[in-house]
């Protein structure tokens, strides 16, 4: 799974951009490719919620106002002081917007149409972690508690779009996707112009959302907030995604 990691670094003051009122070091981060989403109170000053390639990060101004530190600020209990604010300022609004977009794109349901819990996941036919997520989720799907809506994309290999389009062109795409993740089988027929377009649109939505790995899965927590999990969830994360212990 490809991810972007940020260590602790110092951003020197660069020439100020004219488009906003961020302090000069924060504008310097914008010039380096970061998106700044807002500010929050932090020990000894202000923190800034930012993102790069879909990864939420925090930047902290030094007291002299001349430098910014990008990284993780830990309190005496070992907790990241930015976690909640990054979720509110960066991930929350972006995830909610994507949730609405995914509902309007082409997805294939795995599970009962009346299953109360809805999960969206971007799946590539060549992704072994997508297969693992499908396998791990089956107890909840088969119990009727969860429906997973697969948005098929083509990002991992040259033949990923072709395979995804073929699966979407099958007589029963849901069964075809399940059989593919179960055994690796693909439909005998190739994709159609329509299914190729669906794959292209799903893939573009993923890129527009700065999502660079599969699977990436979205669910709503008990408070209705949209959450995101990158990669095949660990057992603890899987229970949170599914909303309960395994049936």
Q: pLDDT tens for residues 186-228?
A: 999 899 999 999 999 999 999 988 888 899 999 999 888 899 9
Residue 115 sits in a domain whose CATH number is 3.40.30.10
**pTM of full prediction above 0.85:** no
Least confident of 86-100, 119-133, 142-156, 175-189: 86-100
Q: Do residues 109 and 72 both lie within one domain?
A: no
Whether 110 and 224 share a structural domain: yes
Using DSSP's 3-state secondary structure scheme, residue 108 falls into strand
Tell me which H or E stretch contains 68: strand 68-71
Element (H, E) at 115: none
Domain termination site, one of 50, 82, 114: 82
54 shares a domain with 136: no
Domains: count for the chain: 2
Is the domain of 177 the same as that of 211?
yes
* Residue where the block lists tokens 């700044």: 36
Which of 48, 82, 116 marks a domain boundary?
A: 82
Q: Pick the residue with more confidence: 41 or 174?
A: 174
Q: What percent of the chain has pLDDT over 90?
A: 62
27's tokens: 């504008």
Query: Can you tell me which residue has the tokens 């609405």?
Result: 100
State how far the Cα of 213 lies from the Cα of 231, in Å rounded to an integer: 7
Local structure of 89: helix, strand or coil: helix
Q: Which domain holds residue 29?
A: 9-82
């Amino acid at each position: 799974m490809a991810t972007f990691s940020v260590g602790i670094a110092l951003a020197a003051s660069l020439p100020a951009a004219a488009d906003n009122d961020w302090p000069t070091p924060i504008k310097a981060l914008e010039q380096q490719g970061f998106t700044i989403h807002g500010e929050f109170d932090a020990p000894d000053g202000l923190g800034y919620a930012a993102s790069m390639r879909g990864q939420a990060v925090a930047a902290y101004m030094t007291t002299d106002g001349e430098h910014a530190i990008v990284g993780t600020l830990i309190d005496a209990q070992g907790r990241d002081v930015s976690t909640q604010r990054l979720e509110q300022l960066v991930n929350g609004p972006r995830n909610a917007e994507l949730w609405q977009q995914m509902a309007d794109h082409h997805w294939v349901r795995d599970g009962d149409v009346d299953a109360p819990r809805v999960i969206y996941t971007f799946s590539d036919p060549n992704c072994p972690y997508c297969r693992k997520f499908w396998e791990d989720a089956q107890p909840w799907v088969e119990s009727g508690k969860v429906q997973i809506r697969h948005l098929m994309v083509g990002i991992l290999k040259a033949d990923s779009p072709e395979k995804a389009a073929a699966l979407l062109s099958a007589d029963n795409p849901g069964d075809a996707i399940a059989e593919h993740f179960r055994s690796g089988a693909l439909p005998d027929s190739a994709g159609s112009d329509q299914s190729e377009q669906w794959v292209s649109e799903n893939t573009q939505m993923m890129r527009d959302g700065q999502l660079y790995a599969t699977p990436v899965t979205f669910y709503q927590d008990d408070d209705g907030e949209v959450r995101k999990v990158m990669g095949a969830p660990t057992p603890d994360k899987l229970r949170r995604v599914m909303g309960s212990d395994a049936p």
